[in-house]
Amino acid sequence: MTKNAVGEDRRYWSLVPVVEASLIGMIAKQAEEQGLEGLFAPQVYGPPFIPLAAAATTTESIKLASGIAIAAARSPTETAMAALDMDRLSSGRFILGLGTSVSAWTSGLFGSPPIKPLTHLRETVAAVRHIIANSHTHLEPFNGEYFSADFAEISQCPPPVRETIPVWIAALREKLTRLAVDIGDGVIGHPMWSVEWTTQTMAPIILDQLQKSGRDRAEIDVNIWPWVAPNPNEKEALDDARPTIAFYAGIAQYESFFAAHGFEKEAQACQKGVQRGDFMSVVGEVPDEMVRCFVAIGDLDAVRERLEPLWVIADSMCIVPPIYAMTPEKQMYYSGEIGKLISG
């Protein structure tokens, strides 16, 4: 088997959806039998811990991670306790993936007060680690800019499976990537990371921050999430992937990111649809070259060739299809092709 960025065997992850519990169990068990390293559950609206708990009941060795839990959606105490519960349910297989999301989600959806995302996330990680390490003995007060708790009347919690649970931090741009490398146990590359953005921009930043933080490369796990649409019918693949790009391009906070890729005008056009709650109305604003920038398109060999440079920095990958406005049949098709991609 070809190697990853640190000279080890390449490792793969997948996603667990929010569906009926018995189906989650079947998906998780199959992933474990196929030799995948782990399963992520994302947070869109609901907490990611629920499908992971279902997956834990039918598996024994596969890792289970929130990918991601939005830090501002809940108190650090609840996040820490959920991590402890998940680690207990899975017998020490849980990884806490955290991210900032965007203000349209944190304030507009979850109703959190305005925050400085990096400061808030750094504080959340510190608070979560404090609670995980000490809730079974004695919790000293925690006082931060966004979170303060005296823990005065908390009873001692049951002993944890592990006093340290890995924290992986999701990132899109430089500042958050540097934070992830500085304080995290892992970096989760945003699905919007193009191959060029990953290898030419993010990889040097990761290595530079490791040096500045005095950390060894082996101290972090870099997990990349490339979007792929493996399909010999390239026109169909482009059309299947276009709505996902329109959705992300329409997020106003991401405009500078798309501008850095040469798609500022397209992103501005997509924002008009997202702002009126109808991103599908602006799918036509996404040209083919924009889809190809962010999604690996073509037959399996073409997709493998497109993804290969990512292994210069990746320890592991969670290869995912663009799913917005995709029919269940198409999702099943692309999931099957991704299975071939991983196994072949």
pLDDT 10s digits, 164-223: 999 999 999 999 999 999 999 999 999 999 999 999 999 999 999 999 999 999 999 999
- pLDDT above 70 (res 76): yes
Are 55 and 49 contacting, i.e. CB atoms less than 8 angstroms apart? no
Q: How confident is the model at residue 3 (pLDDT cuts 50, 70, 90)?
A: very high
- pLDDT above 70 (res 317): yes
pLDDT of residue 156: 87
Residues 6+ apart with CB under 8 A from 248: 192, 254
- Three-class secondary structure of residue 39 per DSSP: strand
Are 320 and 230 contacting, i.e. CB atoms less than 8 angstroms apart? no
- Residues paired with residue 143 on neighbouring β-strands, in sequence order: 148
Convert 94-110 into a string of H (helix), E (strand) and C (coil). Answer: EEEEEECCCHHHHCCCC
Are 66 and 43 contacting, i.e. CB atoms less than 8 angstroms apart? yes
Half-sphere exposure of 230 (CA within 13 A, CB side): 23
Give dist(CA 251, CA 175) in Å, integer.
19
pLDDT of residue 109: 87
Give dist(CA 266, CA 258) in Å, integer.
8
- Residues paired with residue 279 on neighbouring β-strands, in sequence order: none
Per cent of the chain over pLDDT 70 is 100
Mean pLDDT of 320-341: 92
Are 108 and 137 contacting, i.e. CB atoms less than 8 angstroms apart? no
- pLDDT above 80 (res 248): yes
Mean pLDDT of 119-144: 97
pLDDT of residue 291: 98
pLDDT 10s digits, 83-126: 999 999 999 999 999 999 988 889 998 999 999 999 999 999 99
What distance lies between CA 318 and its chain's CA centroid?
A: 9
Q: How confident is the model at residue 271 (pLDDT cuts 50, 70, 90)?
A: very high
User: How do 221-224 and 316-318 pair as beta strands?
Assistant: parallel
pLDDT of residue 328: 86
Q: How confident is the model at residue 37 (pLDDT cuts 50, 70, 90)?
A: very high
Q: C-alpha angle 173/176/179, rounded to 5°?
A: 145
Task: Classify 280 in phi/psi space as left (phi over 0), alpha (psi -120 to 50) or beta.
Answer: alpha
- pLDDT above 80 (res 57): yes
* pTM score above 0.85: yes
pLDDT of residue 13: 97
pLDDT of residue 44: 87
pLDDT 10s digits, 233-247: 999 999 999 999 999
Half-sphere exposure of 107 (CA within 13 A, CB side): 8
Residues 6+ apart with CB under 8 A from 161: 87, 88, 91, 92
Give dist(CA 116, CA 102) in Å, integer.
11
Q: Which two tokens stand for residue 344?
A: 């072949």
pLDDT of residue 1: 62
- pLDDT above 70 (res 285): yes
Mean pLDDT across the chain, nearest whole number? 95
User: How do 69-70 and 94-99 pair as beta strands?
Assistant: parallel
